[in-house]
Structure 1
């Protein structure tokens, strides 16, 4: 097990709950003699001048572990910027669902103590790399831990496109768009769109149509190493948007190509020893407990 001597702290600067939890975390880590580096935005929000602060690149290069305090969105943002540095992330939940940030604020000291003692589970999650190509040139793109979504933007209007997987034509479609999701994102927007729940260990990608104009269109699960290409229809009246994890936005033109594939760097996510994916699903999604309970 890795030994964590220098820990970076990331969170939601505008959240009082996150900042309070970060202050508790700082006090605890200092009592353990751990070197702490704050994210620049967090340092400003806390008014903390005694501890060193740094940008995401420096955190990724110098820290043994980064603890993210916030919701799943905070961890998604940290994952996109830090995965390439192979620094593991640990999430403390100060959001709503908390599929990725699975330590509760009440358990911070106990659970972080276990992690520092080497008692934890390490899990690898892959991200998606997206690029939009116009007349042979890349005009934009982004990374996604959850999903890449092609949608009509502000206007409620069907879009037309063609789907290719590993160079093979799959179908043309008229719909509100398409969700291309990792196993991590299968419990997010893809689930709302009727996609399957995939275990995080699966090396697979799910493609979920959004309100397709045919009853025969269903989600497709493909190999995680697949090369996915979406050709935006030449006769679209809408200009489809490409969104990665709800953040990076690229507006396409008719005739553009959207290329999606797995990134080479994986996110290393740390969980407490008692982490159980199915228990998380039961708790967060309201699944039934054991009979008689």
Structure 2
């Protein structure tokens, strides 16, 4: 049996005043189990009825042995990036619709969470990718992503011209609306909607997916996760483009800029119910299990 948890951190979907009732339900359940509870201070602002200690997210990660995230995949992505260096496991309670990370539902909270708190669960490790920017002979950190790093236009729809290098070797020149570099976790997000393949979450790989490429010959490319991807904005490109990690506010790009994307050394630990099956989630979300009429 895996480790049982004793101190729980509670994190909720930001800027959603409707979440208070769900947070109260989860908090009441945890306290009834005799567990110590700490609330993320930003979550506490959405949860005025709470009477537990509220701390900054970084402190929560240092003091808890499990963080429970109430919301959708976006909320869990934010928590994962914020807490990854603290090596705290994350459990997602799903409030959203289409999602692949948060898999415990409020309707089954009692049986699922009871088993998890008793140490009956699956733990899974997911890796992140990091993006750096070389601009005007200076290198700076852009961010990390559990799902994807995306290069795309800023305001008006314009074709971006860029070159791609893999481990220092030239791969291709492209004219497109942008490029998605996704992890296996992110292969069911933006990359999938752009026509990319689904990667098994245990695969050590990345996928490059063009967004509305000008050339029909551009196709998704799966790489080993140890590869270093470099994207150079063409000197001829006049499009207003930007780079963003997991859909966060982007950093403006200009001609000649180089974006370097590679596997980060940190690992995100995800907790799932004991009966968790990633393929059943794919069937449910993508409607693979429906019988033919």
Q: Please say whether Structure 1 and Structure 2 have the same fold, judged by a TM-score greater than 0.5.
A: yes
Q: How far did 1:248 drift?
A: 3.5
Map residues 120-135 of structure 1 onto 2, 5 A cutoff: 120-135=121-136
Runs of 5+ unmatched residues, structure 2: none
Q: Aligned residue pairs: how many? A: 292
Runs of 5+ unmatched residues, structure 1: none
Map residues 133-282 of structure 1 onto 2, 5 A cutoff: 133-282=134-283
Equivalent residues of 1:17, 1:94 under 8 A apart: no
Give the Cα separation in 1 of the matches to 2:206 and 2:144: 15
Query: What's the CA shift string for 1:179-200, capped at 9, x where partnerless?
Result: 0000011111100111001111
225 and 248 in structure 1: CA distance in 2 versus 1, 3 angstrom threshold: farther
Give the Cα separation in 2 of the matches to 1:37 and 1:288: 40
Deviation beyond 6 Å, 4+ runs, structure 1: none
Equivalent residues of 2:4, 2:116 under 8 A apart: no
2:44 aligned with 1:43, yes or no?
yes
Give the Cα separation in 2 of the matches to 1:115 and 1:234: 54
Equivalent residues of 1:25, 1:109 under 8 A apart: no
Superposed CA RMSD in Å reads 1.5
Equivalent residues of 1:141, 1:248 under 8 A apart: no
Give the Cα separation in 1 of the matches to 2:98 and 2:17: 18
Q: How far did 1:291 drift?
A: 7.6
Map of 1:118 onto structure 2: 119
Q: Normalising by the residue count of structure 1, what TM-score does the alignment of the two structures yield?
A: 0.96
Give the Cα separation in 2 of the matches to 1:96 and 1:49: 26
Map residues 48-67 of structure 1 onto 2, 5 A cutoff: 48=49, 50-67=51-68
Q: Normalising by the residue count of structure 2, what TM-score does the alignment of the two structures yield?
A: 0.96
280 and 49 in structure 1: CA distance in 2 versus 1, 3 angstrom threshold: closer
Map of 2:25 onto structure 1: 24
Q: How far did 1:153 drift?
A: 1.4
